[in-house]
Amino acid sequence: MKIVDTIKENSIKLLLSGLFGVLGFLIGSMYHEMPPTFLQTILEPISKLLLLKLLIAATIAIVLVTVLALYYYFQSRNKLVPKFGVLWDKNKEAYCPACCIPLSHYVTWRPEHPEATRTKAFQCIKCDKQIHIIHNGDDIELDDARKML
């Protein structure tokens, strides 16, 4: 899983660099392709220093809005991954799929029917549900599930 995390982090950096490059290219191409008469009517009454300040302020505002949007997106994103009928964090700790609280009570359950086999499962403290770790329709052990993550 470390390779996937590394790829995600690097792709975000490359995506941001590409977006800023495209933004700079668009601003430059707009300035280059505007007809000189249109620019003269707008630019003559305004000083070059004021236009430069406006351009810098607009660029800073765009950068800040983009960074804040990405920050809130990554903060609000669910960091728990569903697998084997349980939610898992990056440290391979299990969480309840209904409550999203950590599961720590992993016990052997005795079935009510005497011929049935004993199974191991989590007991959620909050919702009081029995949560099995299931792979291909069969119960698996916690250590096996962590190895397969």
Same domain assignment for residues 34 and 61: yes
Residues 138 and 100 in one domain: yes
The whole domain housing 6 covers 2-76
Q: How far separated are the first and last CA of the chain, in Å rounded?
A: 8
Token pair for 34: 């505007």
90, 138: one domain: yes
Q: Are residues 143 and 98 in the same domain?
A: yes
The total of other beta-carbon atoms located within 10 Å of residue 43's CB is: 13
The predicted-structure confidence for 23-42, as pLDDT tens digits, reads as follows 888 888 777 666 666 767 77
> Per-residue confidence at 111, pLDDT binned at 50, 70, 90?
low
* pLDDT recorded at residue 147: 83
**Domain count for the chain:** 2
Is there a single domain that holds both residue 66 and residue 132?
no
Domain boundary among 53, 76, 99: 76
Same domain, 86 and 70: no
